Chain A
Amino acid sequence: MTKQHANWSPYDNNGGTVVAIAGADYCVIASDTRMSTGYSILTRDYSKIIQLADKSVMASSGFQADVRALQKVLEARHLIYQHQHNKQMSCPAMAQLLSNTLYFKRFFPYYAFNVLGGLDSEGKGCVFTYDAVGSYERVGYSSQGSGSTLITPYLDNQLKSPSPLLLPAKDAVTPLSESEAIDLVKTCFVSATERDIYTGDKLEIVILNASGIRRDYMELRKD
């Protein structure tokens, strides 16, 4: 007798793609705004990006119900941190918190593929990339979600990130200027939108730098 399998799944994939690029004194975090299920579109206007702290912005693709639950947990934990320490969490601290929060549900994971971007305590751009259970690494750029397989090779080609195996450790942040990085992100999404059915509608770009936070939008193909 074959094993009985569940006739429903607690998970769903709402699709979408997220990208983040770290610069010398800025960080760009971007995602499309399409939310899908199966071959249908649920909405063309859903933000996958959230600002968790002054200098930490998270973008997540995957199952948006789990993403929202994860965002709420991190927001509450950040409030507690502020009460206890009288200051905002730094981006590396938030990165560790996100990792721990994800691993906490190791045996019923958040179906969320996250990218955390922000400025470290020296003001340099930082990007952290995660899997669903909290394994993470600081990188110069990253892409997650349905279009990541199309975007990551392109970013590898353009940003030529040095290998983390090199000694002495070479800085992974890109020498590109802020506006060049934004153009690069736009190019990534326009290309991914062409071939990935789950990516499109609108691009939301969040830019974090010393003067604060800024949002840009760009229309994408809606088919």
Chain B
Amino acid sequence: MFRNQYDTDVTTWSPAGRLFQVEYAMEAVKQGSAAIGLRSKTRVVLACVNKSTSELSSHQKKIFKVDDHIGVAIAGLTADGRVLSRYLRNECINYSYTYESPLPIGRLVVQLADKAQVCTQRSWKRPYGVGLLVGGLDESGAHLYYNCPSGNYFEYEAFAIGSRSQAAKTYLERKFETFKDSSRDNLIKDALFALRETLQGEKLTSSVCTIAVVGVGEAFQILNQETVQGLINEFEIVGEELPPADEAAPPEQGSGAESGPSAAEQGAAPMDI
């Protein structure tokens, strides 16, 4: 109702206590192609759908190596994502230079969140229009975080962002309790299954997706196309009919770690969590 009056500036509050520019930035994330992350005690798998503007062009790079022990998958304005990845890489390099040890992921995501917050409180800036799934290691094992344009960040067992991510989230909610002690192959398999949910019937092949893994004793790497296709074939994920129950999945009731984004879908301001 009053949205249009108070949404010109990021530094203007609405009477209901919302910053609409920030919420619009979170919309941009929802429009981007899907990105998924899941983690076990010792490993994180990032997966994303490759969207390209036409058959003639190459697809957008959505997964970036930040350091040997950290990687990110992005959804939304990929140019913003690229710039933030450069920032993350720089922070890791500077930390390694000073302390000769890898930057703990928990510290990195706070720095990233603070950087995003700055853009919500300066009239000459705009919020970053990209959501980042940051997966990596610190001394206590593997972690997965989601960083919003709002400057908030949450830790997750598994999460999905971008268009049609709801389908993936439903799958992940069913299975996430098994991820903790999952083997590398099973974790990748679950990522592929979750990714397939977002394709809504489109065939899952290695040209449509990108998978990356980072773990204790395994440096971050993006798996190459042949490996991914081999895994897809092995798990017989190709062309399986979606059971009707998945397609009719209602918005979830805000259970567990995914309560933030679900509340947003029900109309409350995302930053209110």
Q: Residues on A close to B: CB < 8 A?
A: 72-73, 75-76, 79-80, 83
Residues in chain A near residue B96, CB distance under 8 A? 76, 79
Supply 16 A–B pairs (Cβ within 8 Å), ascending by A. Answer: A72-B97, A73-B97, A75-B97, A76-B93, A76-B94, A76-B96, A76-B97, A79-B89, A79-B93, A79-B96, A80-B89, A80-B90, A80-B93, A83-B65, A83-B86, A83-B89
CA–CA, A109 and B148, complex, Å: 45
Task: Give the contact-size bracket for chain B.
Answer: under 10
**Chain B interface, DSSP helix/strand/loop, else mixed:** helix
Residues in chain B near residue A75, CB distance under 8 A? 97
B65 to chain A, nearest CB (A): 7
CA–CA, A57 and B186, complex, Å: 40
Residues in chain A near residue B90, CB distance under 8 A? 80
Residues in chain A near residue B97, CB distance under 8 A? 72-73, 75-76
Nearest chain B residue, comparing its CB with the CB of A72: B97
Nearest chain B residue, comparing its CB with the CB of A78: B93
Residues in chain B near residue A80, CB distance under 8 A? 89-90, 93
Residues in chain B near residue A72, CB distance under 8 A? 97
Residues in chain B near residue A73, CB distance under 8 A? 97
Report B83-98 CB contacts with A as 1/0, cut-off 8 Å: 0001001100110110
Nearest chain B residue, comparing its CB with the CB of A69: B97
A149 to chain B, nearest CB (A): 35
Nearest chain B residue, comparing its CB with the CB of A86: B65
**Given A76-B93, A80-B89, A83-B86, 9 new contacts (CB under 8 A):** A72-B97, A73-B97, A75-B97, A76-B94, A79-B89, A79-B93, A79-B96, A80-B93, A83-B65
CA–CA, A76 and B90, complex, Å: 9
A42 to chain B, nearest CB (A): 20
Report B204-239 CB contacts with A as 1/0, cut-off 8 Å: 000000000000000000000000000000000000
CA–CA, A83 and B94, complex, Å: 14
**Could you say which of A72, A80, A83 has the most chain B C-beta atoms within 10 Å of its C-beta?**
A83
Residues in chain B near residue A79, CB distance under 8 A? 89, 93, 96
Residues in chain A near residue B89, CB distance under 8 A? 79-80, 83
Report B141-155 CB contacts with A as 1/0, cut-off 8 Å: 000000000000000
Nearest chain A residue, comparing its CB with the CB of B68: A79
CA–CA, A75 and B93, complex, Å: 9
A194 to chain B, nearest CB (A): 37
Q: 3 smallest A-B Cβ distances: which pairs? A: A76-B97, A76-B93, A83-B89
Residues in chain B near residue A76, CB distance under 8 A? 93-94, 96-97
B149 to chain A, nearest CB (A): 23
A185 to chain B, nearest CB (A): 30
B85 to chain A, nearest CB (A): 8
Residues in chain A near residue B86, CB distance under 8 A? 83
CA–CA, A80 and B97, complex, Å: 12
Nearest chain B residue, comparing its CB with the CB of A79: B93
Residues in chain A near residue B65, CB distance under 8 A? 83
A65 to chain B, nearest CB (A): 15
Nearest chain A residue, comparing its CB with the CB of B67: A79
CA–CA, A83 and B96, complex, Å: 15
CA–CA, A75 and B94, complex, Å: 11
A68 to chain B, nearest CB (A): 10
A104 to chain B, nearest CB (A): 16
Residues in chain A near residue B93, CB distance under 8 A? 76, 79-80
